[in-house]
Chain A
Amino acid sequence: MDQPAPADTASTAWKDAVFAALEAAGVSQVHYVPDAGHATLIARAHAHPRMRAVPLTTEEEGVAACVGAWLGGARAVLLMQSSGVGNCINMLSLVRNCGAPFLTLVTMRGEWAEFNPWQVPMGRATPAVLEAMGVAVQRVERAEDAAETVDAAAALAYGAGSAVAVLFAQRLIGRKVWK
């Protein structure tokens, strides 16, 4: 093979560390709409004996299911792409009204080396709309910061009862390729 491995699968070490942070935080439900940047986390969650990984048809379901998990006494995380954040806006009222902890990990599109113009508007708006709905935004640019940021975000969410989004920069995920 002359071609290099796709950037989004070239390194999984930091993704494994992020998964370990979720595991250490006691997350038992992983709701997700797939993104290539989340592929490692999704696979790990499905393989984990004490986690339930739930593929969704839309990110909106995930916001509600994460609140349901908390109501039932469990900790959940929502994995999605920045475009999915736009789908969630109205649902985030539920999080805010109930004072529910909420943790979402968002892989960014529409920024670093984006080739698809359709991804750009929502990618640009992602931090602003999250903040407008009361979600704290923490951005990860470097692989070595990823796990620590997720660990801190989980503490803020489950400990302080906050809504927190961790945005993984597109530069970190790697140049997007369609396979």
Chain B
Amino acid sequence: MSATIDTRHNAKVMNRFELTKLLVAKLTDEAVIGGIGNANFDLWAAGRRPENFYMLGSMGLAVPIALGVAIAQPHRTVIALEGDGSLLMQLGCLATVAARAPRNLVIVVWDNGIYQITGGQKTPAAAARTDLVAIARASGIVESHWAADEAEFEALAARALGAPGPWFIAARIDDKPAVTQTERDPVRIRDAFMRGIGSRS
């Protein structure tokens, strides 16, 4: 994790589904909040877990939802999975997270620089070469990192699951669509999640 490689343009372009599978394989009882779009679909495809909340509402809400869960259950690690376009809608949440500094919160961002689900239009951040990890670090989240490649993504995920956060891990990904789509029944999804993390029996 040298400073020389920890910028967006030095990171390898990887595949979201492959990375999602690597992440899910490491999980035990962690809660995962999947943000709207392909991040959510690939989380669904990587294997259903009762501790996953498949949020298909407004863009940018995965991190704030995860923050609420993380404060409610301080002994459980909570992961927010979000796309770059969604995070751009709610960048202020990074300062909110940094201020609260929940030790059990991990933010994972898939950055392909496009609004994939609406036809692959470039985000303004892609055009401007905005560096989301630099924003996260400047927002006060000290543990903010680009994953240089798959091996480093795995290493960062392992560290984030074992050491106090908050963590912000970003990976550059390709423009391949998700391999499937999430079921869209909010009541069923939230009920399964609440039972999965023990807030409902």
Asked whether A29 lies within 8 Å of B65 as measured between CB atoms, the reply is no
In angstroms, Cα B68 to Cα A61, docked, is: 10
In angstroms, Cα B99 to Cα A56, docked, is: 9
Contacts of A175 on B, CB cut-off 8 Å?
A: none
Check A9 for interface membership: any CB of B closer than 8 A: no
> Interface size (B, Cβ < 8 Å)?
34
Contacts of A99 on B, CB cut-off 8 Å?
A: 186-187, 190
Contacts of A57 on B, CB cut-off 8 Å?
A: 92-93, 95-96
Check B87 for interface membership: any CB of A closer than 8 A: no
In angstroms, Cα B189 to Cα A100, docked, is: 12
When C-beta atoms are compared, the residue in chain B nearest to A65 turns out to be B68
How many residue pairs link A and B with beta carbons under 8 A? The number is 114
Asked whether B58 lies within 8 Å of A97 as measured between CB atoms, the reply is no
Check A71 for interface membership: any CB of B closer than 8 A: yes
Contacts of B198 on A, CB cut-off 8 Å?
A: 73
Contact partner, B71, options A29, A60, A91, A94, Cβ 8 Å: A29
Contacts of B61 on A, CB cut-off 8 Å?
A: 60, 64, 91, 94
Asked whether A65 lies within 8 Å of B65 as measured between CB atoms, the reply is yes
5 A-B pairs, CB-CB below 8 angstroms?
A57-B93, A70-B68, A71-B68, A98-B186, A100-B190
